[in-house]
């Protein structure tokens, strides 16, 4: 076969191999900053959480730029973008007790499972409030928003490949809602008797 | 081999391939309408739930008509019919606080696991009531009916192939009953102290 | 090869095939009667439970007789004998609030996992009592006995093949104990406030 | 639920369980007789092969009668009917050096993979002829017919579920054809020099 | 969340679902025509093979047009394009006894495994020639070209994800080369003695 | 090949085989003593627990000595050392209500998952205290320390191979923390009303 | 539970653990000596092979003695006894060109697969003879005996559990026979022309 | 926990992560150069093969230096060192028609499977000679050396973990020997008649 044809194939593979490693690395950074943003909200360090989220947003722009240039490799970043969605939505919800109107990302494979996972973080957050015996209205509102996310997501009934295994995540979300309601029952008793 | 013999085989396969896709599509519709009927009960929209169930019943007739015509392909519809059974029984229970006398379907592979899954929906429904602190008699009755379904189903001890993996679903039902009882303990305290 | 040598091999295999099916059938009967004995205790029908257990004991003698005659096939009956152990121990515990001194079976592969599974039944039984708000001493005693079984069994640290996967069953038992204690906390509150 | 509704479900399951065991047993008989028909052709006992095939044909009628009565259980017989097809076609080919015009069965799931497996038997048969150094025309004709079967079957490109995993069997058939051609090369040399 | 944001996600998923099914269908057509082009070369119908290849080339243009529009779904077409590459290269080799200078496709994931699979077709082709005892120069040249493809491909040592599991296909190619050489040894003897 | 070269390879393998069995045996002893140290704390026998831990510490020295001599086999001891870490940390925490400053082991693969598993033991310990209705300050402190361990460990975000599957253990730890908080809610009510 | 009952269970497990290791060790020795007996026949050292087989026979007696005493553990020795059967039969066949009238073992699970594996050794032996160009009558006789074993074994159509996966071994045996016949074709040519 | 203790763990993990990636990269280089050394022998470019082998030897020294410094990570290099052994031994055998006296590596996990894989390369080499009809003494000597390697390796009967799955590689080696003998039969005929 002609050397230049083979050379073209090889060049494409070499570039992809390079981009692949690059994107894996950047995605890892994005994922780390996103999950630290979440962890710091749980640890009550809201400001520090904001710093990590800001770093994550910068990385997001970089990562998203691969979407146009190397769309066939972008699946490597789906998990990290999903973690960013989870962090972004979680912070928004804790800050304003509202779901975000929209998100800085519109990739269904990352947005939908990211929101589903967010329900689990909301459970942890509500639990911490309940253990402290604080802010019952807040807890009630959180539960409401958990259900709102759940009812929004179950409407997205597409082929699993297109929504990155949304279904099992929705089962976990539903489970988290049930357990939070169950804890809320107890917490209300607690408030009444103490 | 004779062309017409081969042609007969091919014709059968072509028809099956066509029917297969048809039945998968219709089953999907049936499943979607059934699960929307369930979701709307949980969301408190009883009337809307009724509309979806009605659509599901119409689809059911169509789907069941394949049973006589293409019995060897009907396994493709088992899951959808099971979801219908779950929706039908759940709505009946919520409406009348009785198990249905019988069901518009008598296919064991769909009826038995459908009823088993219904127990999980009943748990969710009871939990919502308990969180609202409402209708304790209703909750008690639901728990009773959950156990009634469970004790009815464990009598069906057949080969797993014949009852579509009923056993793991029964374990989940039993688990749901235990957890609902556990929540009910708490809810009763709540009622007493608030 | 000599016909009679081959004939001897064939005869042995034919007998084993026959015994195999026989033992599978009888084991199934034993298992069914044992699990019905358990189900009837949960349903509060103690007498009927006794009838099933009696039938199970008769079947047990027959099943155990295969142990001497066809020891290499007896593994087929292990699960059923284990279910019997579970039923026997559970009934004894519910009746006398004591662990049985010993059991009519001394096959470790069946006794140890059977006792481990019994802990799960004890949880269900305790939960029913707590929901009814009855007999708190009984519940406390059941929890004590659950722990006694657990601490007895964790001493048996042998190769998994020898104790029929005891370890995962012990994890489940420990989990059941934790959750029952957790429910007991609630039930005690319930008693205090109602 | 109404006892007679449940009784209807149970009755259906009990009948299916009975039919299931019946059909498994009869299918086993059909499979055994078919494979003995094949083995006897290889061992050069053509008449005895005929006796087994005749028994198989009688059993086939019985087995096929389940197709109308219990179509949803008939999948249990597919493998056995496939073995019959293999035996029937193989014998016909060896006897007349022609593919059969048609077959006493027209179930694609059994006919297509049965014919594919027949190619393997034809290879064994051709090999035996070549070792004996006999009937080269016969060998050539067998190879021709192997290819004819292969080219007929690759035209059936349907969903794997509908043709019982035809594809891997076709790969094996193609492999058998290659190796037989390879052996035929050698055998021709042998004829030339001896 | 804002309805239009959710609507945008849903619209994207609906389009992807539509495109997905479209592309799967067209890829299937491409694959079928390609493999028929190959089968007809083996069956000695060179002209008919050309017709199928022509149809395949038309389909290829259509399929490739999805690459720019839906690059993240194009992985669904990789197998079909690979089959086209196999057919195109095979026909070119048989026609001119040269490897093609380049190919109408330059997607490494399809080109590399497609060429590797082509080696298997070349073995089948060489075997048919040898059985007929014809054109030894042709066979020798085919073996040379098989090795040329093999030595070209082993230079492409990239991450498996990037070359669609090239490695196992290369093992099969190497195996095919060994066996063809082995048959060629025999065929040469055949020529000498007959 | 030269006999002495082969002899050297064989000698190395024979020694490794011997060391392998030795280390498996000693690791088993270490694991047993460590888990008995834990079990005895739960059973309230603090002194006896100390004896087992002391034995475990002696065995640890022996086991660790293999690390320098046979580093490539030391992975066989990782699980046992991890169990020791769990026991050591658990006892220290129960005794002083502080995390240990450091540990007698500094192998990340054993220390990190050992600490993660320790969180589960702390849950069991807290639950026992809550059931007895004792020492609420102690329970609160335990929960604090559980979270401290959790927040320490999530900072260790390395390749799974390097931290022995830390991630799933952290999920379990997080789960244990949630459930313990949930129980603590109930226990606090219990204290208030009894 | 009574200490002596538990003690009895423990004693039984401890004995089984001891016996288990003992039997694994002795089986390993048996297997090693048997496979060395085979290897030495292939290497042409018939006398040395005899020494290993004699050692194997002594070990066999010891191993078989566990069958009566610990029948439920004897499955651990099946593979080793099977290797012995393979060695014994292979040596007998090479020595006398007859199948052994019977074997010093009559355990179907070991005898049947052992004989099936023996066919593979016979192929290797025949190949060595053919490469040396020696003893064509011997080769023919070996092929005859290979087929005799094959036709004897396919009559044993029992449940796979009862015959230790005989079926795949028979497929391999059939394959070995085909390839040996194929080589024999070539060897005969060789004899004719050299 | 003390910051410096945690810091020590983190430092170790960070170093290991760095070393891990370093060693994976260098091992990849070693593997590539070794396999190119082999490929060039097959392609008849002996000198070029020598250049790659020389580069491989330099890389080997570097890779081996990790063995002392990071013995617990050295398993990452086993496959690459094994490939080097294969290349080194293959080249030595082709050059001098002797097995190497010893090897520049004495790690059993790499040496033993490397030698086993070398047998496959020897088959390919012998086949090329036979197709060319050249150097029959050379082919005979190669087959002798293949068997010598095989008989040397089957003496190493250790736990699979210790010899890196040697057993399946030995089965492949044995298979390669059988097929090469079979081809040699044919080639000898070829020489006689042409």
For H26-66, the pLDDT digits (tens) are 999 999 999 999 999 998 899 999 999 999 999 999 999 99
Neighbours of G115 (CB within 10 A): 27
**Summary mean pLDDT of chain F:** 90
Q: Which residues of A33-43 are buried (b: 16+ CB within 10 A; e: fewer)?
A: bbbbbbbbbbe
Picking from A91-95, D181-185, G150-154, which range would have the lowest pLDDT averaged per residue?
D181-185
CA D19/CA D65 separation, integer angstroms? 12
CA D124/CA D126 separation, integer angstroms? 6
Q: Which fold has domain A1-76?
A: Methane Monooxygenase Hydroxylase; Chain G, domain 1 (1.20.58)
pLDDT at residue E194, as a whole number: 61
At G186, the pLDDT band (50, 70, 90 cuts) reads: confident
Which of E143, E157, E182 shows the shortest C-beta gap to H183? E182
Kindly state the average pLDDT of the residues D49-69: 95
Asked if A99 reaches chain E (Cβ–Cβ under 8 Å), the answer is yes
Residue D44 reports pLDDT greater than 90 = no
Q: Shortest Cα distance from E179 to chain H (angstroms)?
A: 9
Q: Shortest Cα distance from H193 to chain D (angstroms)?
A: 9
**Summary mean pLDDT of chain B:** 91
Asked if H159 reaches chain G (Cβ–Cβ under 8 Å), the answer is no
Q: Which residues of G127-143 are buried (b: 16+ CB within 10 A; e: fewer)?
A: bbebbeeeeeeebeebb
Ordered by start, the domain boundaries in chain C are 1-84, 107-194
Number of C–G residue contacts, CB under 8 Å: 79
Mutate to test the interface with B, among A160, A185, A186, A192 (most CBs of B within 10 A): A185
Give every residue of chain C whose pLDDT is below 50, as ranges. none
At D168, the pLDDT band (50, 70, 90 cuts) reads: confident
| B194 class by beta-carbon count within 10 Å (0-12 exposed, 13-18 middle, 19+ buried) | exposed
pLDDT at residue E124, as a whole number: 92
Which of G1, G74, G102 shows the shortest C-beta gap to C100? G1
**Summary mean pLDDT of chain C:** 90
**Which residue from B minimizes the CA distance to D153?**
B6
Report the greatest alpha carbon distance in chain D: 84
CA H184/CA E185 separation, integer angstroms? 9
Which residues, other chains included, contact D146 with Cβ-Cβ below 8 Å and sequence gap of 6+?
D119, D122, D123, D173, D176, D177, D180
Kindly state the average pLDDT of the residues D52-63: 96
| DSSP 8-state class, residue E75 | G
What percent of chain B lies above the pLDDT cut of 90? 66
**Which residue from G minimizes the CA distance to C21?**
G159
| DSSP 8-state class, residue A75 | G
CATH of domain C107-194: 1.20.58.2140
Residues of A in contact with B43 (CB under 8 A): 151
Residues of H in contact with F119 (CB under 8 A): none
Asked if F84 reaches chain A (Cβ–Cβ under 8 Å), the answer is no
Asked if D192 reaches chain H (Cβ–Cβ under 8 Å), the answer is no
Say if the Cβ atoms of H130 and E185 lie within 8 Å: yes
For E142-166, the pLDDT digits (tens) are 999 999 999 899 888 887 778 888 9
Q: ipTM strictly over 0.85?
A: no
Q: Shortest Cα distance from F141 to chain B (angstroms)?
A: 25
Return the closest-CA partner of residue G42 out of D2, E91, D120, H174: H174
The residue length of chain E stands at 194
Gyration radius of chain F over CA positions: 20
Residues of F in contact with A128 (CB under 8 A): 181
Interface of G with C in 14-53 (CB under 8 A): 14, 16-17, 20
Q: Are C80 and C30 within 8 A, CB to CB?
A: yes
**Which residue from E minimizes the CA distance to H31?**
E157
Say if the Cβ atoms of B2 and D101 lie within 8 Å: yes
Residues of G in contact with H188 (CB under 8 A): 190, 194
| DSSP 8-state class, residue A77 | G
For E7-51, the pLDDT digits (tens) are 999 999 999 999 999 999 999 999 999 999 999 999 889 999 999
In this structure, CATH architecture of domain D1-75: Up-down Bundle (1.20)
Q: Which fold has domain B1-77?
A: Methane Monooxygenase Hydroxylase; Chain G, domain 1 (1.20.58)
Give every residue of chain A whose pLDDT is below 70, as ranges. 193-194
Scanning the structure block, which residue is given the tokens 């009823």?
Answer: B115
Residues of C in contact with G5 (CB under 8 A): 101-103, 106
Which of H17, H111, H152 shows the shortest C-beta gap to F162? H17
H194 by DSSP, 3-state: which?
A: coil
For G116-146, the pLDDT digits (tens) are 999 999 999 998 888 877 778 899 999 999 9
Q: Are E129 and E94 within 8 A, CB to CB?
A: no
At B193, the pLDDT band (50, 70, 90 cuts) reads: low
List of long-range contacts for D71-77, beta carbons under 8 Å, 24+ apart: D71/B71, D71/B72, D72/B71, D72/B72, D72/B74, D72/B75, D73/D16, D73/D19, D73/D20, D73/D23, D74/B72, D74/D23, D75/B72, D75/D109, D76/D20, D76/D23, D76/D24, D76/D27, D77/D23, D77/D26, D77/D27, D77/D30
- Print pLDDT tens along chain H (194 aa): 777 888 999 999 999 989 998 999 999 999 999 999 999 999 889 999 999 999 999 999 999 999 988 988 999 999 999 999 999 999 999 999 999 998 999 899 999 999 999 999 999 999 889 888 777 889 999 999 999 999 899 888 787 778 878 988 998 898 899 889 888 887 877 777 66
Contacting chains of E (3 CB pairs or more, <8 Å) are A, D, G, H
Report the greatest alpha carbon distance in chain G: 85
Which of A9, A101, A158 shows the shortest C-beta gap to E13? A158
Asked if E175 reaches chain A (Cβ–Cβ under 8 Å), the answer is no
pLDDT at residue G194, as a whole number: 59
pLDDT at residue G193, as a whole number: 66
Asked if B131 reaches chain A (Cβ–Cβ under 8 Å), the answer is yes
Asked if D186 reaches chain H (Cβ–Cβ under 8 Å), the answer is yes
Query: Are there at least 3 beta-carbon pairs closer than 8 Å between G and H?
Result: yes
Q: Which fold has domain F1-80?
A: Methane Monooxygenase Hydroxylase; Chain G, domain 1 (1.20.58)
For C66-113, the pLDDT digits (tens) are 998 898 899 999 999 999 999 999 999 999 999 999 899 989 999 999
Asked if B159 reaches chain C (Cβ–Cβ under 8 Å), the answer is no
Neighbours of D83 (CB within 10 A): 24
Say if the Cβ atoms of F9 and H108 lie within 8 Å: yes
At F194, the pLDDT band (50, 70, 90 cuts) reads: low
Q: Shortest Cα distance from D81 to chain E (angstroms)?
A: 29
pLDDT at residue E2, as a whole number: 77
Number of B–C residue contacts, CB under 8 Å: 40
Q: Are C77 and C114 within 8 A, CB to CB?
A: no
Which residues, other chains included, contact B92 with Cβ-Cβ below 8 Å and sequence gap of 6+?
B98, B99, B100
Say if the Cβ atoms of A182 and B123 lie within 8 Å: no
Which residues, other chains included, contact H12 with Cβ-Cβ below 8 Å and sequence gap of 6+?
F106, F108
Which residues, other chains included, contact B11 with Cβ-Cβ below 8 Å and sequence gap of 6+?
none
Say if the Cβ atoms of A181 and B130 lie within 8 Å: yes
Scanning the structure block, which residue is given the tokens 């095919």?
Answer: E176
Residue G189 reports pLDDT greater than 80 = no
Kindly state the average pLDDT of the residues G184-191: 77
Please check whether the two domains, A1-76 and A107-194, share a CATH topology: yes
Q: Shortest Cα distance from H187 to chain F (angstroms)?
A: 29
**Which residue from C minimizes the CA distance to A193?**
C193
Kindly state the average pLDDT of the residues E61-82: 93
In this structure, CATH architecture of domain E1-81: Up-down Bundle (1.20)
For E93-132, the pLDDT digits (tens) are 999 999 999 999 989 999 999 999 999 999 999 998 988 8
Residue D189 reports pLDDT greater than 80 = no
Q: Are B76 and B24 within 8 A, CB to CB?
A: yes
Kindly state the average pLDDT of the residues B125-135: 85
Residue B194 reports pLDDT greater than 80 = no
Q: Shortest Cα distance from F186 to chain C (angstroms)?
A: 6
Q: Are E153 and E115 within 8 A, CB to CB?
A: yes
CA D107/CA E152 separation, integer angstroms? 46
Q: Is the CATH code 2.40.40.20 the one for domain G1-99?
A: no
Asked if H156 reaches chain F (Cβ–Cβ under 8 Å), the answer is yes
CA H87/CA H93 separation, integer angstroms? 10
Residues of F in contact with C154 (CB under 8 A): 35, 39
Q: Shortest Cα distance from A175 to chain F (angstroms)?
A: 13
Number of B–F residue contacts, CB under 8 Å: 3
CATH of domain C1-84: 1.20.58.2140
Asked if C61 reaches chain F (Cβ–Cβ under 8 Å), the answer is no
Neighbours of C98 (CB within 10 A): 12
**Which residue from G minimizes the CA distance to E193?**
G193
């Amino acid at each position: 076969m002609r050397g230049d044809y083979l050379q073209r194939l090889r060049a494409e593979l070499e570039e992809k191999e390079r981009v692949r490693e690059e994107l894996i690395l950047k995605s890892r950074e994005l994922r780390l900053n996103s999950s630290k943003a979440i962890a710091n909200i749980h640890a009550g360090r809201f400001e520090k959480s904001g710093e990590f989220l800001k770093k994550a947003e910068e990385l997001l722009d970089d990562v998203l730029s691969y979407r146009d240039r190397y769309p066939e490799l972008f699946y490597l970043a789906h998990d990290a973008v999903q973690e960013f969605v989870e962090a972004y939505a979680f912070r928004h919800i804790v800050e304003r007790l509202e779901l975000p109107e929209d998100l800085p990302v519109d990739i269904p494979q990352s947005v939908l499972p990211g929101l589903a996972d967010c329900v689990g973080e909301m459970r942890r957050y509500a639990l911490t409030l309940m253990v402290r015996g604080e802010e019952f209205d807040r807890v009630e509102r959180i539960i409401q928003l958990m259900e709102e996310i759940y009812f929004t997501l179950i409407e997205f009934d597409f082929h699993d490949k297109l929504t990155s295994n949304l279904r099992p995540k929705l089962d976990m979300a539903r489970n988290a809602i049930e357990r939070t309601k169950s804890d809320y029952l107890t917490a209300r008793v607690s408030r009444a008797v103490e």
